[in-house]
């Protein structure tokens, strides 16, 4: 076949492989040129320019949330300070009642109620004291030791008010309450045995026998365990008059959490 210029150009000057390689090189060259023309900062500026409305809305929303959190925190802090001053300035039962009516949901209310219980007991206002002790015992902000102590003081107030049967029943419930500390349970057990023994020796013996198995895990618990065993021995010997009769507390206000935890 004779060769001519057109056939030579078609077959040798523009092979398919060469054309394909030229396109890849062109794409690579365009990418390199774009990268050279736009720095990272310029790309970021272009992104912001394209989505500035969304960015502005997000920024405003974040700022509003932060402001609301700060305002709420500041208001709670001021309310707590006001409550602390109101409780500290209250010098009598009426003032404490008023302060609790306004700030009863604040943390310091628990200790204000303890003070109010003491004032009520001194004034022989046993119903008022019982009401405050029930509130302390039901307050989830108080720790377990403080709630258990409030229940125990409630039973003592019942005894002071002359409600011996109700007091004995309350002491018996506390003695069987596994959520209370052993020292509190043993103290309640000794009190229940003391109150039940004259009229119901069998009931007293049952309560004392149940509590005698508790572990004396503190000095206070060991003291009341010894009293429980002493009462048991007196019941067995029929010497109820010789049993050590623990006197009801004259001022049965709930103890602070730090002391009750010991």
| 51-102 residue pLDDT tens | 656 666 777 777 767 666 655 545 555 656 765 777 777 778 888 888 888 8
Structural domain boundaries, residue 193: 126-260
Asked whether residue 174 falls in the same domain as residue 51, the answer is: no
| 138-167 residue pLDDT tens | 988 888 889 999 999 999 999 999 999 999
Asked whether residue 163 falls in the same domain as residue 249, the answer is: yes
Residue at 1 is within a domain: no
- How many domains in the chain? 2
Residue at 111 is within a domain: no
Residue at 220 is within a domain: yes
Asked whether residue 178 falls in the same domain as residue 52, the answer is: no
Asked whether residue 130 falls in the same domain as residue 72, the answer is: no
Residue at 254 is within a domain: yes
Residue at 227 is within a domain: yes
Q: What is the DSSP string of the chain?
A: ----HHHHIIIIIS-HHHHHHHHHHHHHHHHHHHHHH--HHHHHHHHHHHHHHHHHHHHHHHHHHHHHHHHHHHHHHHHHHHHHHHHHH--SHHHHHHHHHHHTTSTTHHHHHHHHHHHHHHTT-HHHHHHHHHHHHH-TTS-HHHHHHHHHHHHHHHHHTT-HHHHHHHHHHHHT-TTS-HHHHHHHHHHHHHHHTTT-HHHHHHHHHHHTTS---SHHHHHHHHHHHHHHHHHHTT-GGGS--PPPPSS-PPPPHHHHT-
Residue at 202 is within a domain: yes
Asked whether residue 45 falls in the same domain as residue 132, the answer is: no
pTM over 0.85: no
Residue at 117 is within a domain: no
């Amino acid at each position: 076949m004779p060769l001519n210029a057109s056939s030579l150009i078609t077959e040798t000057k523009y092979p398919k492989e060469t054309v394909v390689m030229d396109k890849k090189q062109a794409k690579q060259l365009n990418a390199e040129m774009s990268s050279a023309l736009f720095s990272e900062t310029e790309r970021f500026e272009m992104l912001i320019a394209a989505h500035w409305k969304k960015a502005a809305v997000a920024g405003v929303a974040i700022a509003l949330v932060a402001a609301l959190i700060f305002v709420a925190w500041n208001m709670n802090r001021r309310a707590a300070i006001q409550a602390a001053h109101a409780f500290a300035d209250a010098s009598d039962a009426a003032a404490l009642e008023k302060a609790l009516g306004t700030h009863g949901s604040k943390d310091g209310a628990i200790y204000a109620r303890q003070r109010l219980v003491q004032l009520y007991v001194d004034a022989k206002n046993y119903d008022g004291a019982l009401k405050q002790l029930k509130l302390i015992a039901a307050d989830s902000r108080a720790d377990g030791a403080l709630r258990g102590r409030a229940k125990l003081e409630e039973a003592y107030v019942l005894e002071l008010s002359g409600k011996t049967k109700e007091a004995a029943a309350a002491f018996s419930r506390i003695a069987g309450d596994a959520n209370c500390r052993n020292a509190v349970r043993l103290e309640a057990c000794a009190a229940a045995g003391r109150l039940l023994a004259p009229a119901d020796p069998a009931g007293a013996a049952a309560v004392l026998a149940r509590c005698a198995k508790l572990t004396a895990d503190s000095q206070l618990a060991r003291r009341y365990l010894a009293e429980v065993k002493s009462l048991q021995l007196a019941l067995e010997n029929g010497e109820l008059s010789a049993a050590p009769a623990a006197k009801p507390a004259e001022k049965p206000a709930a103890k602070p959490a730090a002391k009750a935890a010991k």
